[in-house]
Structure 1
């Protein structure tokens, strides 16, 4: 399902099922002031290489997929020192773009890109400088939309920049993943829980290995994200004990969480933010290639997929507002009919989506649950969320409470977009308390 990307215009704006504006018209206004997308160098795939010892790789090398990845997850494969022009506040720091080793949902080695930033000011807290492993919200499927490109680029994802700035201002290092599938010729594995979790946990592993970072491999780690990023960080919390048990995770903060993708899909289909449903279908198909996808598409669907793969947030919202999934298949499949279709491995679309549901099989450390969460979590949402149904956000929190996991909870007055910004200081303060070893609040 690979398409050759034509030169497009990058969206100038914010991101996610969370990075929405109050109206599609407002997003269209953002498009009107967009800047040209950076060209994604095709490059020639290179063989796997040993861990980077210097950070002088050309920019194209960060986004070129190796022929093979043989290094252990969390190994830095390539890095480049950069200036994060889109992080507000003028915070003195040293930052790098990185490519690092990870694994996909089937355990296959892959490479992922991201950003590591360390404040210049000395850490004055207890122990070594903590690391916030951050997953951005939805940015779009176009390769130019990768978070590392935006942070160091010519246009700004304002709210994500605020998150990074707040963490750095608090003295924390930041390891921000782009998420799986932003290297040349790939498709972002949007809303695939295991892929997202591995990418986030592995950039936390990689951060201390960046030459010159000065970070301690035993540093305490916080997991953070909102909307798509909130699902990623909560999946990372669920898989940390089994996938990266050596990480000293102190807590997870996840907001605007799309905990049940079927519930979210029913709400998005035919609505103002239907483009996120299209991105989800493309992302899950990329993550689970045994599922039927290309063979189902009509000409309209094929064009829509190619277009979605070239767009960032605002373009996705504007281009697909009001569209229904039934319009894109030769048989006019409804969501329920699509869920019944099985792939070559026998699993159906519905079963794969159910496997992404958060809060299933969770429990505290020592509980014997499938996903033991050995640290507290902070979940939050907006009272006026118009993108993610509040019922699924509430249900995820309730599942954690029923499982006996220490869970702080807060609602904010904003809609989906504003809530992320409203919660920044609370999230950073919550992390500061966890790193300081203070007792965690429990609102269950």
Structure 2
């Protein structure tokens, strides 16, 4: 990773871009994905560096949108360096279809979660003195990945010891996008995100017709709105300002149902957790409605999960305070008791 290594952040740790085997959560097929792995400089502790697998938020849906191919890790290099400075090795998946050939199943949390687990395996195969004890941490799309990794860790990777997962503003269930598109109440942030949802689903499923969900300025600027690299990116801000709520009105109730059912099949929770989880989200989130997260937590509690959560008043999607979440991770590695708010 020469670009990252030469950056002001890259000099503080060892880094490698990896291509590794994983599994599609949407069908179970074997896949090849990419990511980046990091270890701190210095002498590892007894038992090796503890691991945090970090799930990044939305970067796009095309192959060039991978953080591992960016000198700044698509803007999250500070998070990686911060974790390494606290003595953690870090594994960061790009997710299927980002950084490697294939279709990126945007918001398919199970696939992203399996990619996250396998990134930990790739980290341990790349660098020496890395522990099998790990925690999952992610924001937005990555928050859902951390949640799903927690659900599947015990069965999928019994040789790894997951101590807990932190889901920050997780996109656990975004099937509500369809209802808001029908009602014409999508926020500006949601209008940009639904472009990626529709395009990703259309690439993956032949029954999803893009033109059933786009019209007006969205249809005219579709390639611009879904770009993450190249000259089209510079046109995105202007194209985004032209979007209206009517641009995403499904053409029929049947079309709305097709999209909703696909998103519901990817929604969390899907099974009980393997380890405790901490969820942090904002009451004023304009991308993932707070109610969607609250409802997902309630369903997870009904499965018997151990969850601590914090809905921060007035906070949005990107400005939540996750200081306590980092302390929570440290406490899980230390084996301290965890609060289960599902029992309140």
Shared fold (TM-score, shorter chain, > 0.5) = yes
Superposed CA RMSD: 3.0
Q: SS where residue 301 of structure 2 aligns?
A: helix
The 5-angstrom pairing of residues 123-272 of structure 1 reads 123-124=44-45, 127-150=47-70, 152-153=71-72, 157=75, 160-183=76-99, 186-210=102-126, 213-216=127-130, 219-267=132-180, 270-272=186-188
Residues 254 and 91 (structure 1 numbering): CA distance in 2 closer, same or farther, change over 3 Å? farther
Deviations 1:160-205 (A, max 9, x none): 3332222111100000011111236544321112221221111111
Residues 209 and 191 (structure 1 numbering): CA distance in 2 closer, same or farther, change over 3 Å? same
Q: CA shift at 1:148, angstroms? A: 1.4
Residues 190 and 335 (structure 1 numbering): CA distance in 2 closer, same or farther, change over 3 Å? farther
Residues 297 and 426 (structure 1 numbering): CA distance in 2 closer, same or farther, change over 3 Å? closer
Deviations 1:249-272 (A, max 9, x none): 111100112222122444476531
Q: SS where residue 220 of structure 1 aligns?
A: strand
Q: CA shift at 1:289, angstroms? A: 2.4
Residues 297 and 156 (structure 1 numbering): CA distance in 2 closer, same or farther, change over 3 Å? closer
The aligned residue for residue 289 of structure 1 is 205
Which segment drifts farther, 105-114 or 387-396?
Answer: 105-114
Q: TM-score under structure 2 normalisation? A: 0.84
Deviations 1:13-62 (A, max 9, x none): xxxxxxxxxxxxxxxxxxxxxxxxxxxxxxxxxxxxxxxxxxxxxxxxxx
Is contact 1:385–1:416 with CA below 8 Å preserved after alignment?
Answer: yes
The 5-angstrom pairing of residues 301-320 of structure 1 reads 304-311=221-228, 319-320=239-240
Is contact 1:130–1:219 with CA below 8 Å preserved after alignment?
Answer: yes
Matched, 1:418 2:319: yes
User: Within 2, Cα distance between the matches of 1:279 and 1:156?
Assistant: 17
Deviations 1:76-126 (A, max 9, x none): xxxx676456675x77311011111112222222221111010012233x6
Query: Which residues of structure 1 form unaligned runs of 5+?
Result: 1-79, 341-347, 361-370
Q: CA shift at 1:415, angstroms? A: 2.1
Is contact 1:252–1:377 with CA below 8 Å preserved after alignment?
Answer: yes
Residues 103 and 81 (structure 1 numbering): CA distance in 2 closer, same or farther, change over 3 Å? farther
Matched, 1:380 2:280: yes
User: Within 2, Cα distance between the matches of 1:122 and 1:265?
Assistant: 51
Residues 107 and 400 (structure 1 numbering): CA distance in 2 closer, same or farther, change over 3 Å? closer
Equivalent of residue 264 in structure 2, options 354, 367, 384: 354
Q: SS where residue 281 of structure 1 aligns?
A: helix
Q: CA shift at 1:318, angstroms? A: 5.1
Q: CA shift at 1:403, angstroms? A: 2.5
Q: TM-score under structure 1 normalisation? A: 0.66
The 5-angstrom pairing of residues 102-121 of structure 1 reads 102-104=22-24, 105-121=26-42
Query: Which residues of structure 2 form unaligned runs of 5+?
Result: none
Higher helix share: 2
Is contact 1:408–1:441 with CA below 8 Å preserved after alignment?
Answer: yes
